[in-house]
Amino acid sequence: MRGHREAIGVAVVVAALIVAPLGQGNYIAYLLCSWLMLAIAAMGLNLTLGYAGRISLAQASFIGIGAYATSIVTLAHYPWVLGMAVGVVLCFVVGLLLGFPALRVRGHYLAFVTLAFNSLFFLVARNEDWLTGGTYGLSGMPRPRIGPVSTSGQLAFYYFTLAVALLAAVVLRLIVRSPWGRAFKALRENEVRAESLGLDVRRLTLLAFAIGSAYGGLAGAIEAPLVQYIDPGSFDVVQSLSLLLMVVVGGLGEFWGPVLGSAVAVLLPEALRVTAAYYLMLYAIAVILLMTRCPGGLIGLARRIAARPARRRGAAVS
Amino acid sequence: MTSPHLSVRGVFKRFGPVVAVNDVSFDVAHGEILGLIGPNGSGKSTLFNCILGQTAPDAGSVEVDGRRVTGSRACDLSLLGVGRTFQQLAVFPGLSVLDNIIFAAQEHRGGMLGRLFMRPDAGLTEEADRMIEFFRLGAVRNKLAGDISYGQRKLVDAAMAFMAGPRLVLLDEPAGGVNPTMLAELRERLLTYNREHGTTFVVIEHNMDFVMSLCGRIMALAEGRIIADGTPEEVRAEQTVIDSYLGG
Amino acid sequence: MAQFLQVLLSGLATGSIYALAAVGFSLVWQAAQAVNFAQGEFVMLPAFLVLIGEHWLHWPLWAALLFGFALSILLLGLAFKRLIVQPFGPDGGLPLVIATMALSILLKEAVKTFYGAEAEPFPSLLPNGTFHVGGAVVSVRDVLNLLAALAVVLLLTLFLDRTKTGRQMQAAAQNPGVAEILGVDVARMTLYAFLLNAALAAVASFLITPVYLAKFSNGESLGIVAFIAAIIGGFNRIRGALVGGLLIGVLDNLTATYVTLSYRAALPLVLLIAVILWRPQGLLGDEEARIV
Amino acid sequence: MRGFMPMRRAAVVAIAGALVAWHAPAQAQNNKTVLIPCVCELSGAGAVSGTNYRDGAHIAVNEINAAGGILGHKIVMHDYDTQTNPMVSRALVQKVVDAGAYVVMGTVYSGSTDVNMLVTEHAGVPQITGSEAPDITQKGDPYIFRTSSGSEKDIPALVDYFTQTLKVKKVAVEWVQNDFGKGGHDLFVQAIRKAGVQVVADVPSEQGQVDFSPDVAKIKQSGAQAVFVYVNEEEAARFLKEAKKQALTVPLVGDVTLTDQKVIELAGPAAEGAIAHVGLTVSAPVPSIQEFVAKFRKIYHHNTDHNGIKGYIGVYAIKYVTEMIGTFDRKAFAAKMHGLTLDAKKYPGMLLTTSWDKTGELSRESFMTQVKGGKAVVIATIPAN
Amino acid sequence: MLELSDIRAGYADVQILNGVDLALRPATITTVIGPNGAGKSTLFRAIFGLIRVRSGSIRFGAEEITNEKPARLLARGIAYVPQGRNVVARLSVRHNLELGAVTLADQSLVAPRIEAVMDRFPALRQHQARKAGDLSGGQQKLLEIARALLLDPKLLLIDEPSIGLSPNLVRDVFKVLQGLRDAGVTVLMVEQNTKAALAISDDGLVLELGRARMHAPAAQLLADPAVGRLFLGAAIEG
């Protein structure tokens, strides 16, 4: 019954996403694209941090690796799919390597190691002009063609992005609902106990980083043709911090948390535009209040609100 | 005589100047229930950790079914059929009771990659439900393990240790903090399980009523050495054991 | 040689500023297990409070400084602890980190919106002038900054070691359980750590802003450098933060002069990773202390 | 049920958010207004430039509206914050284009303009940018126009200054590693080498760098006879202070920023003697500019940099060109502006006589300035090229 | 002196103390014995306000002190030395001693009192400038006891003082406790080393499953074979 209703819910949302940009300007389509792009990256971080319990402040650098790989490949007139594949595989491998520190250190220490990695990535992207275009960045990446269909129009590209995002979400959903998902959570909740029950903690920790990072790479593969311009500044530590913010604000370890968190980050400035210069301050205050009152994020808040009338009803009965 | 299930030979471990385990050797036969007792600081937990690969002994070896496992990782031991419970509660509070119990066996099914493509429950729901029934946890099956009572969590902990069908289980203070009714229940379940599956148990326990009524054989440790080894009656009568508790 | 001396001395002067920010960061980390991602903004803000006193309220400099100092302690010490850290209880974890990140955005945006986005000059509290040492030119201000940082660290160490309150703070941070059974008011000692952090941030702010210039975005790099300095030096030691700060200042300059300019920012990062992986207690820290 | 609730809520929130987004552009045009949005860097690294650009533009808008608007239409100018993020800037330019912008003002950072000009070009909407990177006007985009000359226009004048006025053979280059600094650096190094001058020290610095002692020490040791300084304002001030401290006595020559009023204010006496080529400067010895600077200060209680002037003249250019073509026709607007010269005498809002070529590149009179007695004074005037 | 009636307390959803009754005679040493998990340490933590007492009452002299904060209890004259190592390792011996007196209203008394306890423990005087963490285990324990004496307590709660100490040191510690008793201090002690502890005690209290099973003169308990069997699982009647 529960699965059934959730399926209906998902179908409604997907239908809404399909009709959302119709009759709207290109802006809305673009905005929705950037949301879906960030949602993919945030979903990856949520796997590493929310499910497996290992923090990473380097997600922006993986978006960067994916975006640079896709840009370089497509600017050389190879198809987008190849660029995306190169980017995702590269991120998987680099993510695996970044997982090694996680075998030694935890928490804040791991946060600082990954943060340092992101800063080093920025320096490399800026200094190695021959590969990355340095501070000028790379621009003019073509949007992919799917058979005879070009996605260079904003609406077409939106549907392309939507398809990729849905695919990514479905794959992630399958992962977290498979025995792996249970193993990731077990790793997060009690590593020693999980190992005593046969879990190869080392391998799973590395995998958590590798898969989460690969999702960053996929987001980068969308960002390159979406913005058609990338530069090192788009992938600096601040972006990683804001992705972390999205994941926690949405609801850590909740499947739909990052989707919601990134929606807030992208759409809130729009909703708060009436407040002009104050919007970022309002956002910051809202985040502080949310965190102090409800560390479970928006999904946690929704649960709490959903649970309250039920409790009241229960009380009335008794 | 068949070969022993667990064989500990000359295990020695010191922490700085303190010798925690001093040249301990013993065998445990298949299907035996061995109780390990001794006052605080007598080296029981260190010995456990040496057997289970959590601590590397300074000398000596541990064999399971004739296979040397000294220095193995805990996950490898688990795959060899060695299960354990922890002194501190060790359930996964954010997972449901059912998921806790399913997880306890899933890592024994298929390869790492194979598990990615398995059914979400790895085909273990039925077996887990049998375990839930066996430990009478049906009422809390779908609750988060963090939301149930302490005693119930103890049962979940034990159920997890058994779920993978281990042939040797090391129980670290299973009775600690469990109320008397629940305690009788736990003892009865453990004995039944031992009878039905022939599983070997090694139990560290301070609750003497519990351990004496559960185990066929008791070994007493003091200052890192074995000071008595025999039936509960024999060990109970041993003056050196009483003295070890009362102090010199 | 003159060049080496030149960049070494400058590096020490810059490093002393990092050290001041790092010391406060360590204090709060130890006392409340809270990693403050707004630490850089804590050093940015007090200078603007002084500028408000000076330019908006038209007070003389000394009054503005006093005003800035007092308000910093109130806002960055008391209010920070009561309104942001305290609601999380003893273990804030990730949500607390996120809250301090949001705080950093809030402080930056507030300064930018209410004071302005442009860099502003800040009155120097120290005399200008230079002198020569072995061919290197040293500014009096750099030397005084360095001395001030050393003096602050020395005073703080003396306070923590030589006063009863300081020792109670140490006990509360190192072993709150023991402190409690001895009747130490652990909550109050924790508050003192926050107040001290705010005071140190204000001092750092007043010392560096004449060089850095007052700008809303000043905290961005400074905050991160403070973390790195604290971790490299060993966060459970006041001296560690000092050494970490000075080390980064000097290494940064030496790398830029003798190794690479494009990658001058990389060395502290590599050092940070190496320290965390192989000596997580830091270069000067000891292992017995609490680990986060 | 429990799994479903947050899902539904997620959807509701997302949809509500999207709906809010929908409605924002709806309240646009009645027939008596014209939309000229300002999309620029109001937060992030470019906030200083962006806010000045915006403030300058708003002064012009208020003046023009007070005098009856453009062809009787009041200008409606909303501000959009790109957060100095190219991706966001592209979204916002798309948004204002969707909303029916007549001309788009902004952005200032070249990285953002590079991206969002694709949108205005595609939609055929003229865009008045504050960017100075060379590539902006080299892409054949017929809808992009500058408000100050690109660095490729300034560099020849600077090279001439090094080779003919200073007559040096060895120079050092101090530059900041962002698109602004790198653009100037690459052009300058290429041109000065061609002129037979040796670059003896090539020193990149970080944006936000505090300690310039290694930079100055390196330059000092290189034996350079003059230094080309191409960094942002705060870094320029810090560099000048360090140069003075280490007694670096060779001429320090920069482009635009080095003699900027802000730099003088920040660097104090250390700025004395610094030289810069400026296309547009708040210290230009032109009454119209001085009037504008005073006006800006009166309204906003702080000084502007050249970006304030850029925003101001950008809006006035829109007014003048539109009145020339007599209608709000974007295509005609762009066509008219190519090859146009607006004489400051006849068009006072331009402050200085300004011309645009076929690429949207701008040229006008420029100056060599030097800091003397705490003020930038003009030491030479370079005619428009 | 100290009177407990029907104390119940525990952690989260585990109740450890299931109704403890106890009354101490002044100027005596009372040793609490019992198997692991009987609730001995928990009893101390409950008396000293470190865990909440769920029901029952604790009286000290004529005063009700149930669930009072440690700082208040110290002021009333109760001191507590928990088991394990409880010195502040990085502070000197002298400064550790001084921490014992932070709640003292008249701080001018601190120095003379430190002198007084150092007279009693000459080893501490000898090492007063060393870091507490550098002392041997036995010296650290002496330091903790000395520190607890800074406020001139009327009641000393001491938990497992002999853990990790050599027999000689244990004898020293016990001698100190006897000295305190003779000076009028009431001592309540938990000790694994049951025989030795009872030998210096006036009274003994047997705790089993969170209840006080026997409260009798120490000599009587020492002679009772049931006490030995208690540890090996035989319940005590009554």
Give residue D319's pLDDT band: very low, low, confident or very high (50, 70, 90).
Answer: very high
Give the nearest partner residue to E88 out of C164, C174, C185, using CB atoms.
Answer: C174
Q: How many CB pairs under 8 A join C and E?
A: 57
d(CA C69, CA D158): 46
Architecture of the domain spanning C2-278: Orthogonal Bundle (1.10)
Give residue E232's pLDDT band: very low, low, confident or very high (50, 70, 90).
Answer: low
D241/C7 Cβ within 8 A: no
Give residue B31's pLDDT band: very low, low, confident or very high (50, 70, 90).
Answer: very high
Give the nearest partner residue to E195 out of B41, B176, B247, using CB atoms.
Answer: B247
Q: State which residue of chain D sits closest to C220, comparing Cα positions.
A: D208
| Partners of D252 in the β-ladder | D227
D24/A9 Cβ within 8 A: no
A16/D11 Cβ within 8 A: yes
D17/A271 Cβ within 8 A: yes
Q: What is the pLDDT of residues D12-35, one digit of tens each?
A: 444 444 444 444 444 444 468 999
D21/A31 Cβ within 8 A: yes
D268/C211 Cβ within 8 A: no
Which superfamily does CATH assign the domain made up of D152-278 to? Response regulator (3.40.50.2300)
C253/D48 Cβ within 8 A: no
pLDDT of residue D25: 43
Average pLDDT, whole number, for chain D? 87
Q: What is the pLDDT of residues B93-138, one digit of tens each?
A: 999 999 999 999 999 988 888 899 888 888 899 999 999 998 889 9
| Interface mutation target, options A278, A281, A285, A293, chain C, most CBs of C under 10 Å | A281
Do strands E14-23 and E2-11 pair parallel, antiparallel, or not at all (unpaired)?
A: antiparallel
Give A 146-175 residues with CB within 8 A of chain B.
Answer: 175
Average pLDDT over residues C79-90: 91
pLDDT of residue B64: 93
- Note whether A180 contacts B: Cβ–Cβ < 8 A: yes
* Residues of A with Cβ-Cβ distance to D98 under 8 angstroms: 24-28
Rg (chain B; Cα; Å)? 18
**In C173-202, which positions are buried (b, 16+ CB within 10 angstroms) versus exposed (e)?**
bbbbebbbbbbbbbeebbbbbbbbbbbbbb
With a cut of 80, say whether residue E236 has pLDDT above it.
Answer: no
Rg (chain C; Cα; Å)? 19
* Residues of C with Cβ-Cβ distance to D268 under 8 angstroms: 121
A281/C96 Cβ within 8 A: no
Q: What is the pLDDT of residues E54-102, one digit of tens each?
A: 999 999 998 999 999 999 999 999 999 998 889 998 899 999 999 999 9
**Are D173 and D203 within 8 A, CB to CB?**
yes
Give the nearest partner residue to D213 out of C7, C213, C217, using CB atoms.
Answer: C7
Helix, strand, or coil here: B227?
Answer: strand
- Note whether E52 contacts B: Cβ–Cβ < 8 A: no
Give E14: exposed, middle or buried? Use CB within 10 Å, 0-12, 13-18, 19+. Answer: middle
Give the nearest partner residue to E91 out of C170, C177, C183, using CB atoms.
Answer: C170
- Note whether E77 contacts B: Cβ–Cβ < 8 A: no
Q: What is the pLDDT of residues D193-222, one digit of tens each?
A: 999 999 999 999 998 888 899 999 999 999
**Neighboring chains of A (3 or more beta-carbon pairs < 8 A):** B, C, D
pLDDT of residue D27: 43
Quickly count: other Cβ atoms within 10 Å of residue C134's Cβ.
11
Only one residue has tokens 């916002």, namely D92
B206/E36 Cβ within 8 A: yes
- Note whether A103 contacts B: Cβ–Cβ < 8 A: no
* Residues of C with Cβ-Cβ distance to E153 under 8 angstroms: none
* Residues of E with Cβ-Cβ distance to B205 under 8 angstroms: none
Q: State which residue of chain A sits closest to C102, comparing Cα positions.
A: A284
pLDDT of residue D6: 40
Single-letter residue type at D294: A
Give the nearest partner residue to E231 out of B176, B177, B208, using CB atoms.
Answer: B208
Q: State which residue of chain D sits closest to C133, comparing Cα positions.
A: D246
Give the nearest partner residue to A267 out of D9, D18, D114, using CB atoms.
Answer: D18
* Residues of A with Cβ-Cβ distance to C287 under 8 angstroms: none
Maximum average pLDDT range among A148-152, C126-130, E27-31, E85-89: E27-31
Q: What is the pLDDT of residues C35-70, one digit of tens each?
A: 899 999 999 999 999 999 999 999 999 999 999 999
Average pLDDT over residues B150-179: 86
Residues on chain D bordering chain C, Cβ-to-Cβ distance under 8 angstroms: 43, 45, 47-48, 51-52, 177, 203-206, 208, 210-211, 213-215, 217-218, 220-221, 233-234, 237-238, 241-242, 245-247, 262, 265-266, 268, 302, 305
Q: Residue D313: in which H helix or E strand, if any?
A: helix D306-325
With a cut of 70, say whether residue E237 has pLDDT above it.
Answer: no
Single-letter residue type at B90: A
Give the nearest partner residue to D87 out of A227, A268, A298, using CB atoms.
Answer: A227
Q: State which residue of chain A sits closest to D181, comparing Cα positions.
A: A135
With a cut of 80, say whether residue B164 has pLDDT above it.
Answer: yes
Distance from CA of C119 to the nearest CA of A (A): 19
Domain locations in chain C as residue ranges: 2-278
- Note whether B109 contacts A: Cβ–Cβ < 8 A: yes
With a cut of 70, say whether residue D326 has pLDDT above it.
Answer: yes
Q: Domain D33-148+286-364 carries which CATH code?
A: 3.40.50.2300
Q: Which of E235, A173, C73, A229 is CA-nearest to residue B180?
A: E235
Quickly count: other Cβ atoms within 10 Å of residue C254's Cβ.
17
D178/A267 Cβ within 8 A: no
E37/B177 Cβ within 8 A: yes
Share of chain B above pLDDT 90, in %: 46
A193/B86 Cβ within 8 A: yes
- Note whether E137 contacts B: Cβ–Cβ < 8 A: no
Distance from CA of B26 to the nearest CA of A (A): 23
Give residue E233's pLDDT band: very low, low, confident or very high (50, 70, 90).
Answer: low
C88/A287 Cβ within 8 A: no
Give residue C174's pLDDT band: very low, low, confident or very high (50, 70, 90).
Answer: confident
- Note whether B181 contacts E: Cβ–Cβ < 8 A: no
**Neighboring chains of D (3 or more beta-carbon pairs < 8 A):** A, C
C98/A245 Cβ within 8 A: yes
Average pLDDT over residues B47-60: 88
| Partners of D145 in the β-ladder | D128
| Partners of D73 in the β-ladder | D70
- Note whether A97 contacts C: Cβ–Cβ < 8 A: no
Share of chain D above pLDDT 70, in %: 92
Average pLDDT over residues D148-153: 82
d(CA E76, CA E153): 8
Helix, strand, or coil here: E49?
Answer: coil
pLDDT of residue A278: 83
| Interface mutation target, options A22, A128, A135, chain D, most CBs of D under 10 Å | A135
Average pLDDT over residues E136-162: 91
**One pLDDT digit (tens) per residue for chain A, 318 residues:** 556 888 898 899 999 999 989 888 888 899 999 999 999 999 999 999 999 999 999 999 999 999 999 999 999 999 999 999 999 999 999 999 999 999 988 888 999 999 999 999 999 999 999 999 998 889 889 999 888 888 988 899 999 999 999 999 999 999 999 999 999 999 999 999 999 999 999 999 999 999 999 999 999 999 999 999 999 989 999 999 999 999 999 999 999 999 999 999 888 877 777 776 788 899 999 999 999 999 999 999 998 888 876 554 444 443
Domain locations in chain A as residue ranges: 25-237
If you write DSSP's letter for every residue of B10-58 in order, what string do you get?
EEEEEETTEEEEEEEEEEE-TT-EEEEE--TTSSHHHHHHHHTTSS--S
- Note whether B16 contacts E: Cβ–Cβ < 8 A: no
A268/D17 Cβ within 8 A: yes
